[in-house]
Structure 1
Amino acid sequence: MEAGPDLDYARTGDGVTIAYQVLGRGPAVVWLPSLGNLRAQWRVPVLRAAYEHLARSVTLVLYDGRGMGSSDRRVDPGDLGLAAHLRDLDAVLTAAGLESTALLGYYHSTATAIAFAAERPQQVTRMILFGGSARIRDAMSPAQTQALLSLVDQDWDLFVDTAAHAWLGWGAGESGRLVADAFRTAAAPAVAKAWFAAAADIDVTDRLPDVVVPTLVLHRQGERQIPVEVSRRLADALPRGRLVELAGSSPTLFVEDARADLDLVTRFLTSGDVVPPATPVTASADGVTDRELDVLRLLAAGDSNAEIARSLGITVHTVERHTANLYRKIGARGRTDATAYAVRRGIA
């Protein structure tokens, strides 16, 4: 099964053939595609291991979007926007006979997942989002990303190698080569260019309030990739959103700390529980003192300044002073930011 399970094919409402795979058993999860090629991705040992691990607990559905991989590559480059991506997802769900499913939106497909969950809440059970945003250009805005995208129509081979190694952090070994091959064979350069151009115009911000399903927003990026503020804004705007920052800087899932990522994702998909990987905070982390940690725990629990003062046996003025110092040290603008900080670090 070098290239994974056998491919099945779905037909979209506008006549495009979409290649998909189904493996495993349990609650259904559709992993929406970004730039890639399923058959080539199965040859990457780390990705293969992730697919097989997830399939032990869920029914995992993978597919190549229009113009990509084994799906119909003869597509109109002018029809690669959100409506087209929604048609692809709808066709796969229909062909696979799925009345309800969880969604895993990855990079560009984050917006597709959001839009689908907003339009068809009865079909979506849970959602995990990684590497994207409601307005895709926010995730594409860092200077390094823009420099990388400028290579798409100038030097396709240089683009895919740079994307795999410099941007996503895959090493120069066999796995890095295989990931670059997955990008290289994903689509024709002209289609990829049109795909990125269309993505820059996708904005589903107005649909966020209509997403009623529990949503886990995961963030792991280096300084030059997607800022954590992008993921934080997304989680905050979702009625049932929660942000978990993953340790490390490689902007991928299931690679840098595969076991922890897989445990977190599997648990959420199967039970709805969120147990972030432990990140102990000591008095010296971020310069936060023991007393400030005490204040933070109570603040995150929803206590007022007066209640915190009574609990700790200090004055309200002292609580305010500790809170001001705490906000400065952790970069919080208020209670919401401080609570999110506490949740991410397992303090709350």
Structure 2
Amino acid sequence: MDDGPQLRFARTGDGVTVAYQVFGSGPVLVWMPSLSNIVAQWRIPAMRAAYQALARHLTVVLYDGRGTGSSQRRVDLGDLGVDAHLRDLTAVLDDAGIARASLLGYYHATATALAFAARQPQRVRRLVLFGGAPRMREAMLPAQTRALLSLIDQDWDLFADAAAAAWLGWDMSPSNRWTAEAFRTATTAPVAQAWFAAAQDIDVTAELSRVRAPALVLHRQSPQQIPAGVARRLAAALSDARLVELPGDTPTLFLQDPDTDVRLVAEFVTGGPIRHPAPGPLTAREREVLALLPGGDSNAQLAARLGIAVHTVERHLASIYRKIGARGRADAVTYALRHVTDFRHPR
């Protein structure tokens, strides 16, 4: 099984050894970690394909943060806040001889990428941000996330399986087994607990005004994990940011529509234009929801009539609005009255 490029090792200012990989050619993109195991991640077919696709356009840098993967596992569990993560990133850039790079802040690493761009603007070309927030507590509020985090100290193996399947949406993919294994081997339960406990207190909101690097904020519809409002607020708070809300409901990159995701990231990092993905046609369920809207039902009533959860109705509505260009429910009702011929009237 392919474990990826040879590991290199950097030393942080506080003496922690950090493992990293460099591959590809072109402008540098540093894919920053949350709980990671870069060696195991190469064994996930979808991730390996994403790495290889990005490497055709970019020089990609991957690394394991302190306490995870192939990096030093024995670390100060009381020092896992944003400053510690910044020391890891700085060490990797310095050891690799990279003076300036674009950063992919993914989930937990979003706040770290923003802080680095604010504090060392001369070293950051561009930012790609997905799945996180400057105030990390906001990204960890959804009930599903809290439920998953509660599993860490109860059953580490169960957490790994559940996170792979439900949190990152890999349950429909043959990559699920390898993704669970990557989670399971990324670190230990005590380190994971300390990581997420520290994340609750990470807040770099006050530093956003100093971020000057152009940013691409990506969001994929999945309100039960990361609400779209989190990404919208982040994009609005940055001086030069573009928000792209991706179609689909799998809350990760490079899985549901990998070609589009790779193209968006690669073109942005290389300085190309942002071409928003064309919305697809309404699904059968979305057409059903749209046909019900003129009846005036609330989301809860729609959910009861269709036999689905309220958050599923909300997800369908968000997708409908995006696809038909509606600004909200009133626009969608108007659209339905003009285009729908098979209305479902209230019982």
Partner-residue secondary structure (3-state), 2:104: strand
Deviation at 1:205? Answer: 0.3
Residues in 2 aligned to 1:190 and 1:211: alpha-carbon distance in whole angstroms: 33
What is aligned with 1:322?
A: none
Deviation at 1:280? Answer: 6.7
Alignment deviations for residues 209-240 of structure 1 (CA, whole Å, 9 cap, x no partner): 11101100000142311100000000000000
Opposite residue 123 of structure 2, the aligned amino acid is Q
What percent of counterpart residues are identical? Answer: 60
Alignment deviations for residues 46-69 of structure 1 (CA, whole Å, 9 cap, x no partner): 100100111111110000000000
What is aligned with 2:28?
A: 28
Alignment deviations for residues 227-284 of structure 1 (CA, whole Å, 9 cap, x no partner): 00000000000000111000100011000000111111111111242111112799x9
Deviation at 1:78? Answer: 0.7
Residues in 1 aligned to 2:35 and 2:96: alpha-carbon distance in whole angstroms: 22
TM-aligned CA distance change 1:93 to 1:326, over 3 Å: closer
Query: Equivalent residues in 2 for 1:78-117 (5 A)?
Result: 78-117=78-117
Residues in 2 aligned to 1:117 and 1:9: alpha-carbon distance in whole angstroms: 23
Alignment deviations for residues 150-209 of structure 1 (CA, whole Å, 9 cap, x no partner): 011011011110000022111266410100000000001100000000011000000111
Opposite residue 140 of structure 2, the aligned amino acid is M
TM-aligned CA distance change 1:207 to 1:166, over 3 Å: same
Alignment deviations for residues 267-308 of structure 1 (CA, whole Å, 9 cap, x no partner): 1111242111112799x9998xxxxxxxxxxxxxxxxxxxxx
Which has the higher mean CA deviation after the structures are superposed, 228-237 or 166-175? Answer: 166-175
Query: Equivalent residues in 2 for 1:168-187 (5 A)?
Result: 168-171=168-171, 174-187=174-187
Residues in 1 aligned to 2:51 and 2:273: alpha-carbon distance in whole angstroms: 21
What is aligned with 2:220?
A: 220
Residues in 2 aligned to 1:74 and 1:15: alpha-carbon distance in whole angstroms: 11
Query: Equivalent residues in 2 for 1:125-140 (5 A)?
Result: 125-140=125-140
Query: Equivalent residues in 2 for 1:149-298 (5 A)?
Result: 149-171=149-171, 174-279=174-279
Residues in 2 aligned to 1:170 and 1:217: alpha-carbon distance in whole angstroms: 22
What is aligned with 2:330?
A: 329
Residues in 2 aligned to 1:20 and 1:112: alpha-carbon distance in whole angstroms: 17
Partner-residue secondary structure (3-state), 1:261: helix
TM-aligned CA distance change 1:239 to 1:229, over 3 Å: same
Residues in 1 aligned to 2:143 and 2:178: alpha-carbon distance in whole angstroms: 26
| TM norm structure 2 | 0.81
Residues in 2 aligned to 1:32 and 1:156: alpha-carbon distance in whole angstroms: 23
Alignment deviations for residues 305-345 of structure 1 (CA, whole Å, 9 cap, x no partner): xxxxxxxxxxxxxxxxxxxx9565369xxxxxxxxxxxxxx
Opposite residue 257 of structure 1, the aligned amino acid is D
Residues in 1 aligned to 2:39 and 2:329: alpha-carbon distance in whole angstroms: 49
Residues in 1 aligned to 2:274 and 2:199: alpha-carbon distance in whole angstroms: 30
TM-aligned CA distance change 1:138 to 1:330, over 3 Å: farther
* Contact 2:221–2:245 (CA under 8 A) maintained in structure 1: no
TM-aligned CA distance change 1:27 to 1:326, over 3 Å: closer
Residues in 2 aligned to 1:168 and 1:132: alpha-carbon distance in whole angstroms: 13
Query: Equivalent residues in 2 for 1:309-324 (5 A)?
Result: none
Opposite residue 142 of structure 1, the aligned amino acid is P
Partner-residue secondary structure (3-state), 1:171: helix
Which has the higher mean CA deviation after the structures are superposed, 216-225 or 40-49? Answer: 216-225
Residues in 2 aligned to 1:58 and 1:108: alpha-carbon distance in whole angstroms: 23
| TM norm structure 1 | 0.81
Residues in 1 aligned to 2:280 and 2:184: alpha-carbon distance in whole angstroms: 41
Opposite residue 145 of structure 1, the aligned amino acid is T
Residues in 1 aligned to 2:44 and 2:281: alpha-carbon distance in whole angstroms: 35
What is aligned with 2:146?
A: 146
TM-aligned CA distance change 1:326 to 1:227, over 3 Å: closer
Residues in 2 aligned to 1:62 and 1:326: alpha-carbon distance in whole angstroms: 39
Residues in 2 aligned to 1:326 and 1:99: alpha-carbon distance in whole angstroms: 43
